Structure 1
Amino acid sequence: MAETRRGGPVPRRMGAAETGLPVASDAATLRAAGRQPPLPFCVALADGRPLTMHRLLRVLPGKRLVGEAELDGRRVLAKLFVGRRCEKHWRHERGGLDALRQADVSTPELVVATAMAAGGYALLTVFLEPAQSLAEAWAEVSERAAGDAEALAVLAPALGMLGRLHAAGLVQDDLHLGNFLRHQGRMLVVDGDAVRVISRGQRLPPADAGANLAVLLAQLPPVWDGQLAALLPAYTAEQPLLPEQAVMRRNIERVRAWRLGDFLAKTVRECTLFAVEHTSARFSAVRREEAETLAPVLASLASLDSAVASGRVFKDGGTTTVARIVVNARPLLIKRYNLKNLRHAFGRLWRPSRAWHSWREAHRLLFFGIPTPRPLALVEERCGPLRRRAWLICEYCPGPNLLNHLAADCEPSPAEANAIRDLFGALRRHRISHGDLKATNLLWDGERVLLIDLDGVVQHRSVAAYERAWRRDRARLLRNWPSACALRRWLDEQLPAACG
């Protein structure tokens, strides 16, 4: 396999063709089919040979489909370009693969690049199996300590490959971990469409090389920013020209800030990761891989209310109702944000709901690697542009909160102490305040401390604003325990100081 997709495989939509021969298709049909054309389907290449698509790995609706296919009895990775201006992208993809090969950068072997008989273009490469993307390999070691030898060993081949790319005067404009593939001990670069020639055959200038390398390094957890001395040797063995490390760190911070903004915008619009529906009566966003499972719950506002009513209710207040529900034998948490009276309803009409804010901030925390239950779906009741009630569904954490879990008369265990320090260290690095830091909003899952109830979470632009908010958060957390107890004394010593 030589194409990966962030967020997992595209779900297949079964059609009548599943029990018979592939359905004949063409570029216009595939362009109109959206994200899930019936499988299997067959398209004719310009020379008349049939190409049968069996499994989709990635779909850009109306533009491109990527998947496992068969040509002349051979498995191939097929990219079908079906958009109205697809020839440009097809030529760019082919040119990028040619540039990689000329630079001696490993990339999957090209089988054929041709037009399709009824419009559109196809680019076929060998199907590599077994293969693992760097994103998948990194996920297995990403929680190890920054600088861990095994984690470095996972990253080093990709860094060396990128160095070779830059030494040949090329950059990868869509540089993410999924565009590196490990196969039979080799690292390969995929996605030729994103390869751009800057200075063919000549090393990139340090500024260009550093800027492109920063795009890759910004996808590592921020705690790795201090490990450039360990990360860079694999790269500089191929391409020694780089800016100073201080400049590299600034580049990484800039790229990470851009990636965060881009990601948060995607959480509320239709894209590969999220399925979004927006009507005059409601707005909904759901993680695409969860859409089928949650469909019965999300079917209507009534079904959401029914799920809340039938669940185990933990809280039923004027402004929020929280319940544990079970969907396909999987426990989930659903939180409904109520309107307690007419005045409250008028006050919420124009503002994003607290569910919207919690959805966004949960994704922000997870982007930075800060533990919180994974948000799965957001629904807002709408009346045109006006907002009313809202619902948030997230994973359920069965662990106890810290008020119940920690004993006031002794210090936390080493594992608990490290988890507490890690959480508040990360929040401080990113200048994130909680706004209601009660011990009941901190859950222990056996390994980590998870932050919940994110209605008031803010990432501050200025240090001064963050320090003011942190003083309030810190004081609120300490008030959970008597002033003379051992736990409070330990927290007071270990938590970041309240400055100013």
Structure 2
Amino acid sequence: MIDTRQLRAYGRRPPQPLSLTLDDGRSLQILQWLRILPGKRLVGQALLDGELVLAKLFIAHGAERHWSREKQGVEALQLKAIPTPGLVASGRIPGGGHYLLTRFLSGAQTQQQRWEALSSTEPASAEAQGLVAEVVAMLARMHAQGLTQSDLHMGNFLWHQGQLYVIDGDAVSVQSSSEALNARDAADNLGAFFAQLPVAWEEQLELLLVGYLGVNSARAIDPQRVLQALERGRQWRLQDYLGKALRDCSLFSVRRNWWRFLSIKRSESAELLPVMNEPDSLFDSEPLLKDGGSSTVTRFTRGERTLVVKRYNIKSLGHWLRRFWRPSRAWHSWLAAHRLQFLDIATPAPLAMCESRFGPLRRRAWLVTEFCPGQDLLSLFDPTGQELPAPEQCQALLKVFSELARQRISHGDCKATNLLWHQGRVWLIDLDAMQAHSSEAAWRRAWAEDRARLIRNWPAGSPLGLWLDEQLPR
């Protein structure tokens, strides 16, 4: 008989189908795994007495606390008439685990799936506005009943037959059993949800709050407090995401031993792992994009995609002695690219990073990204600086630097060849020297250097140079 210890031992690859005997003697048939957190929680589509159910199996040591919170959250939603898949059964699994079964809503989609299917998720998109407004209205209903959802993201709201459902009872808590949520907690909860949206959605904040108050006007919501909660939530999410990029999890496959450290986006692992086992072989077949002393760059194809690999070289013993004790430039660029992507600042998608090591000592390193076919600004713009770029190019250039200034990020090497024009946006490449600053003084110094370096790409006193000096944030 399968018990909790065996479920833990399966790791990321539990078999399917799988039969599990419940504590009431009934047999639960797992048909398909939907989410796997190795050694912690398994979620799957299952059959119980001929009925389709969603099965959550809590298998970690001390899992009773999470199981109990999940059960209480589902029951609280049902008690307050907030739509949620109905509770079918719950109990213990032999060996110390627990299970919770809810109705399986066939054909349902999460709001995240609907969001990803949109042709545009910009704030100007009426469809995108509709999806966000549906979640805001549901939060307003929950707040009016004294409930909050602490794990707020689009994936925890399910759309089924014209109705939005709240899922993940583990994150639902009752703040008040008899009255609406207080204004401070409501603002903080709303800010936590808005932090999940792209940065550009902040301009829609007031409109979304109007929609919220149309459903729940029991409390006056302070927009400034919502913004503060949004910033806190976004910073927490960013640090959590960057941490995941360096450890084995559902998003990233990380392998480390005495000789190397390797992180690959899990969705790319099957395709790129063979490549990253022999990364130097990529430099043999294609013409090099760059063959410098400190780095070598080439591109390669996988299927219909063109990718770029950058090798960070060790030029000499002295160079190694300066570099071996700190994270490599590949490590630094890997995190910098993920930071930009998180903040919706255009940069080629980072796919894999590898450091060659001897224990804790770093040696050479490699970074694989998507290839951006854009044209660099040095060749795109008038090299004499006598003519201004097209209006949409001017706007895109100012937008990316305004966002960098807002996020206190310096690029560190603002040559125009490191800025590409592609798909109506300015893309940033060569992120080796990029920094996110916590010190205001350090930020101002780095920003002044970035600003001056960008302007120096064109002749001093030229119309383009003067325009940049006037328009770039100081």
TM-score scaled by length of structure 2: 0.93
Give the match's secondary structure for 2:454. Answer: helix
Query: How do 1:176-255 and structure 2 match up within 5 A?
Result: 176-240=153-217, 241-255=219-233
| Contact 1:435–1:457 (Cα < 8 Å) also in 2 | yes
Q: CA deviation at 1:243?
A: 4.3
Partners of 2:75 and 2:241 in 1: CA distance: 31
| Contact 1:373–1:450 (Cα < 8 Å) also in 2 | yes
Partners of 2:220 and 2:448 in 1: CA distance: 40
| Contact 2:416–2:454 (Cα < 8 Å) also in 1 | yes
Q: Go from structure 1 to structure 2 and tell me whether the alpha carbon gap of 1:25 and 1:290 turns closer, same or farther (over 3 Å shift).
A: farther
Q: Which residue of 1 aligns with 2:413?
A: 436
Partners of 1:119 and 1:261 in 2: CA distance: 33
The percentage of counterpart residues that share the same residue type is 49
Q: Which residue of 2 aligns with 1:494?
A: 471
| Contact 2:187–2:222 (Cα < 8 Å) also in 1 | no
Q: Structure 2: which amino acid aligns with 1:264? A: L
1:276 aligns with 2:251: no
Q: CA deviation at 1:455?
A: 0.8
CA RMSD of aligned residues (A): 2.1
Q: CA deviation at 1:203?
A: 1.5
Partners of 2:119 and 2:245 in 1: CA distance: 23
1:127 aligns with 2:104: yes
Give the match's secondary structure for 1:476. Answer: helix
Partners of 1:134 and 1:418 in 2: CA distance: 32
1:68 aligns with 2:45: yes
Q: CA deviation at 1:158?
A: 0.8
Q: CA deviation at 1:147?
A: 5.9
Q: CA deviation at 1:140?
A: 5.0
Q: CA deviation at 1:353?
A: 0.6
Higher mean C-alpha deviation, range 86-95 or range 282-291: 86-95
Q: Which residue of 1 aligns with 2:340?
A: 365
1:421 aligns with 2:410: no
Q: Deviations over 1:172-195 (max 9, x none)?
A: 122222111122221111001111
Higher mean C-alpha deviation, range 110-119 or range 67-76: 110-119
Q: Go from structure 1 to structure 2 and tell me whether the alpha carbon gap of 1:367 and 1:407 turns closer, same or farther (over 3 Å shift).
A: same
Q: Which residue of 2 aligns with 1:260?
A: 238
| Contact 2:120–2:128 (Cα < 8 Å) also in 1 | no
Higher mean C-alpha deviation, range 81-90 or range 355-364: 81-90
Q: Which residue of 2 aligns with 1:322?
A: 297
Q: Structure 2: which amino acid aligns with 1:317? A: G
Give the match's secondary structure for 2:272. Answer: helix
Partners of 1:484 and 1:462 in 2: CA distance: 32
Q: Deviations over 1:369-412 (max 9, x none)?
A: 10111111111111111111111111111222111223345332
1:482 aligns with 2:459: yes
- Unmatched runs of 5 consecutive residues or more in structure 1: 1-23
Q: Which residue of 2 aligns with 1:9?
A: none
Partners of 1:137 and 1:410 in 2: CA distance: 44
Partners of 2:227 and 2:170 in 1: CA distance: 28
Choose from 56, 73, 85 the match for 1:79. Answer: 56
Q: Go from structure 1 to structure 2 and tell me whether the alpha carbon gap of 1:48 and 1:213 turns closer, same or farther (over 3 Å shift).
A: same
Q: CA deviation at 1:477?
A: 1.5
Q: Go from structure 1 to structure 2 and tell me whether the alpha carbon gap of 1:254 and 1:457 turns closer, same or farther (over 3 Å shift).
A: same
| Contact 2:187–2:223 (Cα < 8 Å) also in 1 | no
| Contact 1:209–1:242 (Cα < 8 Å) also in 2 | no
Q: Deviations over 1:27-78 (max 9, x none)?
A: 2211111112232222222333332223222111112101222333433222
Partners of 2:9 and 2:453 in 1: CA distance: 55
Query: How do 1:331-370 and structure 2 match up within 5 A?
Result: 331-370=306-345
Q: Go from structure 1 to structure 2 and tell me whether the alpha carbon gap of 1:142 and 1:258 turns closer, same or farther (over 3 Å shift).
A: farther
1:388 aligns with 2:366: no
Q: CA deviation at 1:119?
A: 5.2
Partners of 1:249 and 1:142 in 2: CA distance: 28
Higher mean C-alpha deviation, range 461-470 or range 255-264: 461-470
Partners of 2:107 and 2:462 in 1: CA distance: 56
Give the match's secondary structure for 2:284. Answer: helix
Higher mean C-alpha deviation, range 141-150 or range 25-34: 141-150
Q: Deviations over 1:4-30 (max 9, x none)?
A: xxxxxxxxxxxxxxxxxxxx7432211
Query: How do 1:74-153 and structure 2 match up within 5 A?
Result: 74-116=51-93, 120-140=97-117, 145-146=122-123, 149-153=126-130
Q: CA deviation at 1:298?
A: 2.0
Partners of 2:93 and 2:444 in 1: CA distance: 61
Partners of 2:46 and 2:391 in 1: CA distance: 52
Q: CA deviation at 1:273?
A: 1.2
Give the match's secondary structure for 1:258. Answer: helix
Q: CA deviation at 1:148?
A: 5.0
Q: Go from structure 1 to structure 2 and tell me whether the alpha carbon gap of 1:71 and 1:288 turns closer, same or farther (over 3 Å shift).
A: same
| Contact 1:207–1:242 (Cα < 8 Å) also in 2 | no
Q: Deviations over 1:305-364 (max 9, x none)?
A: 112333431111111011101223421111111100000001111111111111111111
Higher mean C-alpha deviation, range 271-280 or range 456-465: 456-465
Q: Structure 2: which amino acid aligns with 1:361? A: A
Q: Which residue of 1 aligns with 2:352?
A: 377
| Contact 2:146–2:180 (Cα < 8 Å) also in 1 | yes
Q: Structure 2: which amino acid aligns with 1:132? A: Q
Q: CA deviation at 1:123?
A: 1.8
Choose from 432, 436, 461 the match for 2:438. Answer: 461
Q: Go from structure 1 to structure 2 and tell me whether the alpha carbon gap of 1:73 and 1:437 turns closer, same or farther (over 3 Å shift).
A: same
| Contact 2:28–2:48 (Cα < 8 Å) also in 1 | yes
| Contact 1:311–1:326 (Cα < 8 Å) also in 2 | no
Higher mean C-alpha deviation, range 99-108 or range 177-186: 177-186
| Contact 2:4–2:94 (Cα < 8 Å) also in 1 | no
Q: CA deviation at 1:365?
A: 0.8
Q: Deviations over 1:253-294 (max 9, x none)?
A: 122222222221121112221111221111111111111111
- Unmatched runs of 5 consecutive residues or more in structure 2: none
Give the match's secondary structure for 1:237. Answer: helix
Q: How many residues align?
A: 471
Q: Go from structure 1 to structure 2 and tell me whether the alpha carbon gap of 1:487 and 1:142 turns closer, same or farther (over 3 Å shift).
A: farther
| Contact 1:103–1:201 (Cα < 8 Å) also in 2 | no
Q: Structure 1: which amino acid aligns with 2:44? A: G
Higher mean C-alpha deviation, range 84-93 or range 257-266: 84-93
Give the match's secondary structure for 1:265. Answer: helix
| Contact 1:46–1:117 (Cα < 8 Å) also in 2 | yes
Q: CA deviation at 1:440?
A: 0.7
Give the match's secondary structure for 1:261. Answer: helix
Higher mean C-alpha deviation, range 344-353 or range 468-477: 468-477
Higher mean C-alpha deviation, range 101-110 or range 75-84: 75-84
Q: Which residue of 2 aligns with 1:45?
A: 22
Choose from 132, 137, 140 the match for 1:160. Answer: 137
Q: Structure 2: which amino acid aligns with 1:281? A: W
Partners of 1:52 and 1:417 in 2: CA distance: 59
